[in-house]
Chains A and B, each alone.
Chain A
Amino acid sequence: MYDAIIIGAGVVGCAVAQQLSRYAGRLLVIDRMEDVADGASKANSGIVHAGFDAHPGTEKARLNVKGAKMYKELAGELGVPYGQPGALVLGFSEDDRATLNKLLEQANANGVEGCRIVERDEILKMEPNTNPAVVCALHAPTSGLVSPYEMTCALADSAAENGAEFILNNPVLEIKPTADGNWLVITGRDEYKTRAVVNCAGMGSGVLHNMISTRRVKLIARRGEYYLLDHAAEMPFHMTMFQCPTKMGKGVLVSPTTHGNILLGPTADDIDDGYDTATTRKGLDNVMDKVRLTWKNANLRLTITTFSGIRAHEEHGDFIIGKVEGAPAGAFEAVGVESPGLSAAPAIGQELGDEVAAFLGLDRKDDWKKPTPIPKAFRVMTDEERAEAYAKNPEYGTLVCRCEQVTEAEIRAAIRRPVGARSIDGVKRRTRAGMGRCQGGFCSPRVMEILCEELGVSPLEITKCGGDSRLLVGTLHDIAKEARPDEK
């Protein structure tokens, strides 16, 4: 019997798990995918929103502002890349100015500090590559950046270091209350009994909610597509560049990432399949059309990949966080956590974790281990630090990923982490091996070998991202034999 089972190992589920791991209780996190951070938490803009976007009085506004204020310290503690370059919301007409003034009022009402309207000359001084047609902008100096999947992985590790169990690759098919006032969580693989269940299943959270509550929720899958550009010698922009929302839509952003790439997007298209993260010609072209409003000379020559993520938009538009209404006691949830969910996650984790612990009557542990911060990446070390890292572990001497300068030592460490990498993409998210301009062409065979060594499996079992995504179909002998069964 568990004290709490968290369904969904995205940034929200992992933040809740980390908070609950501060209490003495038996904790399990379950996800349908083979790794944590394999839903919306791996494919988003990575912006820690300042908090001017959401309407005052909503959960979104409150938790966004609260979460954003927690980021700097939390990311530092976890050793996760975080920065606070600030943001501009660009306006191109006097109509836009009115909208920006509204956003400024919202910012003030939500308690976002330091926002102001800036005029064209100042904008072009701050960001010279901005389309000169710009009229004015809202400047939000507290807008931040985080690496969302690294954040999620680090939260998961911290929870696991404090006793939380993780069972991945295990979809929850059903949850139901038991006669003795507890809960049964039924998965494709097994059944688990628990005193409390916390539904943080992102796009899958609606179905689970409706299974146990008399009050319906409706999730709409809203896909966002992106282009990702390589790091260039000169960054075109240092801040996150938003566009003022207009009657024509919300616009797209151009933003640096914490690793110095440039992100362009996202679109917003409602789709039927909540797990269809394909990109489309139409979507990508749409991104580029809109990007040119911000960045006139945008150029896709440096594109290294395109991707998309899916927002779990609840039809009423706000986060639904806390005790599940219309359900028996012991059920909690975070449903409809679309943007700014990443920004809000630390606050959601803290509040929901404490609420569940209070319900269960758990005591705080006095031996809670502080997170082990992820060591500085070889890529950003000085020569002296590199020499020192090598002196401690000669595996720092072998470069596996040449584009992002990831060493063998770091890849092995990623696999050995408390919630370690099990696939090529798992290694990629934790180390950046394969995230550079050659997209793993060079390093994936070597990463595969290291995975085999660490996990003691055959190359034929290694997947790109779990499930049936095996990279190899057989040995030369197997396939030749299959094709010509009569030959020896």
Chain B
Amino acid sequence: MKNELTAINVDILIVGAGPAGLAAAIAAKKAGIDSLIVLEREENAGGILRQCIHNGFGLHRFKEELTGPEYAQRDIDTAGEMGIDVRTGVTVLSVTNDKVVTAISKKYGLQIFKAKAVVLAMGCRERPRGALGIPGTRCAGIYSAGTAQKFVNLEGYMPGRRVVILGSGDIGLIMARRMTLQGAKVLACVELMPFSSGLNRNIVQCLHDYNIPLYLSHTVTDIHGKDRVTGVTVSKVDENRRPIPGTEIEFECDTLLLSVGLIPENELTVGAGVDICPATSGAVVDDSLQTSVPGIFACGNVLHVHDLVDFVSGESFKAGQAAADYVRGREHAGRAIPVRDGAGVRGAVPQQIRLEKGAQHANVDIMFRPDRVYQNPYVVVTADGKPIFSQKKMIMAPGEMANITLTEKQLAACEDAQAIEVSISLEKPAM
């Protein structure tokens, strides 16, 4: 029997039903798009939030503290009430630059969709051990923090009893507390950089409150054990992040958790021929979240790794709205002006702002991370070198994404610029 593979037409196809995909879908539906499908490979919508059973979600968006699953449920319910077609258990295999999307599932088999617009919302994945090249044995007991979180929170099993955590990313910090509360002994959290990559509140609430030592400027230099981890060697590193001989500390443990960063999951994006930004490992987008391929949009952790889901939702509403506009033929017009990372700034998003001369400009949010910790700095935006925006901050750290908003007036001052640059300065700029 030969299966006929005919394409299914759809206005907007959204890949991923995490908070990003759901928010994009809700916004597009609100904008009047009915031909809308969300594809999610897991059996349940909600994305990574499903396993984040701690609270601390939704403070900005809902003004209350929710757990991850509670936050996700609100969007799932809204999508349900609005009659949005969210299909779970469906994995998207490829997206082409003319917006043909191939997917497979147990329920529907292989399906091909022809979409007018596509929103990429695939989230991110954790960086594995291999990417670090830590030598040693390859025995059981080495997990990414998110995998451990899945075992503990979704399956009800403990992956270990005595734990060392490499990296101070938020998931690692949350798991330090979680495993301690479950009866494990967390011996140390080891961070290569001289500062943590997690949120300050997590350092306090997950490490300090449980007397778990944080070793900054240290790394794991060896892993021991034949079948299962029996210990790790931790060494101090110099300014160039190279281990200093003679500083080795041995920890007896059965588990090493890795929380060494998240990488946007961009295989589909690359396959669609979308330009990727080296600083974020996500797509290059303009202020409407449109990528370099017209009609393909990206939002959430697949675009750049966020700390707070509230901002994911905010960004994704915009992407859904923009996709709806695109389908209606109301493309975000204007000349694209590049937004560049200046001194102290990493991964500013959007990488382009489109401005139509003389038109009304909606506010544009720019998000980025500082390259290190700054006390009392100024965030400065220049248009062709001329400052058009400056804002004083109390403290900035790489673990917390920074967010600034350019207003109509400031944007008007950029209309003729060749480039916009965001930088961090310790001095107040002359405006």
A22-30, A216-224, A240-248, A469-477: which lies at the interface: A469-477
In the complex, whether A402 has a CB less than 8 A from a CB of chain B is yes
Within 8 Å CB of B147, what residues of A? 440-442, 444-445
Q: Which of B125, B133, B136 contacts A300 (CB 8 A)?
A: B133
CB distance from B43 to the nearest CB of A (A): 9
B404 within 8 A of A: no
A383 on interface, CB distance cutoff 8 Å: yes
In the complex, A437 has a CB within 8 A of chain B:
yes
Of residues 207 to 237 in A, which have CB atoms within 8 Å of B's CB atoms?
A: 227-228, 233
* B150 surroundings in chain A (CB, below 8 A): 445
* Stretch of B154-162, B338-346, B361-369, B405-413 at the chain-chain interface: B154-162
The answer on a CB contact under 8 Å between A383 and B110 is: yes
Is A179 interfacial (CB-CB < 8 Å)? no
A467 at the interface (CB under 8 A from B): yes
**B129/A305 in contact, CB under 8 A:** yes
Name A472's contact: one of B2, B151, B184, B223 (CB within 8 Å): B151
Which residues of chain B come closer than 8 Å to A384, judged between CB atoms?
2-3, 5
Which of A438, A465, A466, A482 is the one whose CB lies under 8 Å from B183? A482
Chain A hits for B125, CB < 8 A: 438, 441-442
Question: Which candidate, B24-32, B98-106, B393-401, is the interface stretch facing chain A?
Answer: B98-106
Q: Which residue of B lies closest to A389 (CB)?
A: B110
* B161 lies within 8 A of A473 (CB): yes
Would you give the shortest CB distance from B305 to chain A, in whole angstroms?
15
Say how far B32's CB is from chain A's closest CB, in angstroms: 33
Which one, B3, B136, B160, contacts A387 given CB within 8 A? Answer: B3
Which of A277, A305, A397, A398 is packed against the most chain B CB atoms within 10 Å?
Answer: A397
Q: Is A368 an interface residue (CB 8 A)?
A: no
Asked if A480 lies at the interface with its beta carbon under 8 angstroms from chain B, I say yes
What 0/1 pattern do residues 264 to 307 of A give for CB contact below 8 A with B? Answer: 00000000000101111101100000000000000010011111
Residues B140 and A465 in contact, CB atoms below 8 Å apart: yes
Within residues 415 to 454 of chain A, which ones have a CB less than 8 A from any CB in chain B?
437-442, 444-445
| Residue from the list A233, A445, A464, A483 in contact with B184, Cβ < 8 A | A483
- Nearest-CB residue, chain A, relative to B137: A278
Contact between chains at B140 and A441 (CB < 8 Å):
no
Decide yes or no: A475 and B156 within 8 Å by CB, A279-B135, A438-B126 being known contacts: yes
| Complex Cα gap A303–B134 (Å) | 11
CA distance A465 to B225 in the complex (A): 13
In the complex the two chains form, what is the Cα distance from A328 to B89 in whole Å?
Answer: 62
User: Is B109 a contact partner of A397 (Cβ separation < 8 A)?
Assistant: yes
Please indicate the chain A residues that have their CB under 8 angstroms from the CB of B41 in the complex: 399, 402
B139: A residues at CB distance < 8 A: 464-465, 469
Q: Is residue A116 within 8 Å, beta carbon to beta carbon, of the partner chain?
A: no
Chain B residue with minimal CB distance to A282?
Answer: B135
Choose among A303, A386, A483 the residue that contacts B110 (Cβ–Cβ < 8 A).
A386
From known contacts A284-B135, A442-B125, infer whether A398 and B184 are also in contact, taking CB-CB under 8 Å: no
Question: Do A303 and B130 touch (CB < 8 A)?
Answer: yes
Q: Is the CB of A394 within 8 A of B106?
A: yes
The distance in angstroms between the C-alpha atoms of A396 and B3, with both chains bound, is 15
**Would A402 and B159 be within 8 Å (CB), given that A439-B130, A464-B139 are in contact?**
no
- Shortest C-beta distance, B308 to chain A (Å), equals 23
Is the beta-carbon distance between A473 and B254 smaller than 8 angstroms?
yes
Q: Number of contact residues on A: which range applies?
A: 35 or more
User: Quick check: B135 and A278 within 8 Å, CB to CB?
Assistant: yes
| Given A233-B270, A472-B157, also A479-B104 (CB < 8 A) | no
Nearest CB of chain B from residue A156's CB, rounded to whole Å: 22
Q: Is A180 an interface residue (CB 8 A)?
A: no
- Expressed in whole angstroms, the minimum distance between the Cβ of B130 and any Cβ of chain A is 4
- Considering residues A303, A395, A441, which has the most beta carbons from chain B within 10 angstroms of its beta carbon? A441
Which among B104, B130, B135, B154 has the greatest number of chain A C-beta atoms within 10 A? B130
Write out the residue numbers on chain B whose beta carbons fall within 8 Å of the beta carbon of A464. 139-140, 227
Known pairs A386-B110, A438-B128, A479-B183; A473 contacts B133 (CB<8 A):
no
- B146 interface residue, CB < 8 Å from A? yes
Q: Nearest-CB distance from A241 to chain B (Å)? A: 21
Closest A-chain residue to B112, C-beta based?
A383
- Counting chain B CB atoms within 10 Å of each CB, which of A277, A280, A464 scores highest? A464
Residues of A within 8 A of B105 (CB): 397-398
Within 8 A of B (CB), among A13-60: none
Q: Are A472 and B159 in contact (CB under 8 A)?
A: yes
Q: Determine if A360 is an interface residue (Cβ-Cβ < 8 Å).
A: no
Among B69-120, those with CB < 8 Å from A are 89, 91, 93, 102, 104-110, 112
In the assembled complex, the Cα of A437 lies from the Cα of B263 at a distance in Å of: 11
Report if B152 contacts A (CB, 8 A).
yes
> Do residues B228 and A470 form an inter-chain contact, with CB atoms below 8 A?
yes
| A463: interface (CB < 8 Å) | yes
Given A387-B5, A483-B184: A460 and B157 interface contact (C-beta under 8 Å): yes
- Assess whether A463 is in contact with B159, with CB atoms less than 8 Å apart: no
Q: Please give me the residue from chain A that is nearest to B108 by CB atom.
A: A397
* Chain A contacts for B110, CB-based, 8 A: 383, 386-387, 390, 397
In-complex Cβ contact of A469 among B1, B3, B143, B227 (8 A)? B227
Q: Is the CB of A473 within 8 A of B160?
A: yes
* A479 touching B161, Cβ below 8 Å: yes
A399 contacts across to B, CB distance below 8 A: 41, 91, 93, 104
Q: Check A106 for interface membership: any CB of B closer than 8 A.
A: no
**Chain A residues, Cβ within 8 Å of B112:** 383
> Distance (Å) between the CB of B146 and the closest chain A CB?
7
Interface check A170, CB cutoff 8 A: no
| Selected A-B contacts with CB under 8 Å, 9 pairs | A396-B104, A399-B104, A464-B139, A468-B227, A468-B228, A470-B140, A471-B140, A471-B159, A475-B158
Closest 9 CB pairs of A and B: A483-B183, A397-B106, A464-B140, A469-B140, A387-B3, A468-B227, A305-B130, A469-B227, A439-B128
Name 17 extra pairs, CB < 8 A, besides A281-B221, A387-B110, A460-B157.
Answer: A233-B270, A279-B135, A279-B136, A300-B133, A303-B133, A384-B2, A387-B3, A388-B2, A391-B3, A394-B109, A398-B106, A438-B125, A438-B126, A441-B125, A441-B144, A464-B227, A480-B182
Measured CB to CB, the residues of B under 8 A from A are 1-3, 5, 41, 89, 91, 93, 102, 104-110, 112, 125-126, 128-131, 133, 135-141, 143-144, 146-147, 150-152, 154-161, 182-184, 221-223, 226-228, 254, 270
